[in-house]
Amino acid sequence: MALLKFTDKGIYVPQGDFYIDPWKPVKLAVITHGHADHAYWGHDAYLCHELCKPILLQRLGDVQVQTLAYAQQLEVNGVKVSLFPAGHVIGSAQIRLEYKGEVVVVSGDYKVEYDGISTAFEPVKCHTFVTESTFGLPIYNWKPQETIFKSIKDWATDNREQGKTTVLVAYSLGKAQRLIKNLSDQGDIYVHNAIANLNERFIAAGVDLPETTRITPEIKKESLQQGILIVPPVMTDGRWIKTLQHAATGICSGWMQVRAGRRWKSADAGFALSDHADWPGLLSAIKATEAEQVFVTHGFTATFSRYLNEIGIPAAEVKTQYGNDEEEPETASLTSAE
């Protein structure tokens, strides 16, 4: 019996009778991380890392969640299940499965550069590795994040000197917390409700995050102009930004690596800050696993799997419903209480 089956519900583990990141309702869903395309509502029970639980409760409501620490093992119908850091966002995990000597790792989404807030990615040796390829093209090669944050700080300083309000657009889970952590020396940071609510969950779970201020209609525009605002992508097209004093909008996304991407949604600036591995990162991670078989689930699956085969790593595409968390699928407003 194969340890994994790719079905119309998601990645199935027949021997264990559970799914990993399924997109249709199942009895037990093992979740790699809390982004909406990997953690769906409607499962009977969830299993995830302990720091992923606050995200699931915030986004899915009062669901039944069991947690594991990294490297802690749980046996499910004879299958040994353990979680290892994926480095993607807070609480993200690679799912390690072991049964009768066979080891499979399902990585979910991951990045190999330590971001200072998520637990650093840890390669796990296995026979079979399931990988993403969101940025699986050679053109995607990230600069060190220190370089990117310096660019953001310089841009924000220039905005203040010109009387502009700095607005950074970033996904509310992952990217927003990285910005908060690395920009805390730039004065007051104001965040959208969706980000503020997640931050409260993280802080309650023991995550050390700098202080921020929730954006409300009562805050004076002059105060906002002196700080930095962080909002989710869905706000980019909203009328609210147009009410700010000379707003300058910067998109924080891996897609900004491509020059044309900087014109996305008429932004004033683009910063190639991603929570996914770039081309070199994907290759280094896969080689470190020493996997004999690789399955590519989402992103540039055809190109990336073909290249892996060309360099001697057997690989195949798998069709899934995992999307692109660099663009936020959820809806939100300035006053929403997500």
CATH number for the domain including 34? 3.60.15.10
By residue range, what is the domain housing residue 163? 145-271
pTM of the model: 0.93
Do 131 and 279 lie in one domain? The reply is yes
Domain count, the chain: 2
Closest CA to 130 of 262, 5, 274: 5
Judge whether residue 301 has pLDDT over 80: yes
pLDDT tens for 78-127 read 999 999 999 999 999 999 999 999 999 999 999 999 999 999 999 999 99
Same domain, 122 and 149: no
Residues 238 and 192 in one domain: yes
Burial class (CB in 10 A: 0-12, 13-18, 19+), 319: exposed
Other CB atoms within a 10 A radius of the CB of residue 146 amount to 10
CB 298 within 8 A of CB 322: yes
Phi then psi for residue 326, to 5 deg, are -75, -15
Mean of all residue pLDDT scores within the chain: 92
- Shared-domain flag, residues 171 and 254: yes
249 token code pair: 């909008």
- Look at residues 210, 236, 271 and tell me which one is the last residue of a structural domain: 271
Mean pLDDT for the stretch of residues 318-327: 79
Q: Number of helices and strands (H, E) in the chain?
A: 8, 19
Asked if 282 and 123 count as a contact pair (C-beta separation under 8 A), the reply is: no
Same structural domain for residues 182 and 294?
no
Q: 287 with 255, same domain?
A: no
State the pLDDT at residue 330. 40
187 plus 223 within the same structural domain = yes
What is the tens place of the pLDDT at every residue in 42-52?
Answer: 999 999 999 99
The pLDDT of residue 235 is above 90: no
Q: Which residues of 98-123 are buried (b: 16+ CB within 10 A; e: fewer)?
A: bbeebbbbbbbbbbbbebebbbebbb
Do 10 and 132 belong together in one domain?
yes
Are residue 264 and residue 151 in the same domain, yes or no? yes
Are 86 and 164 within one domain?
Answer: no
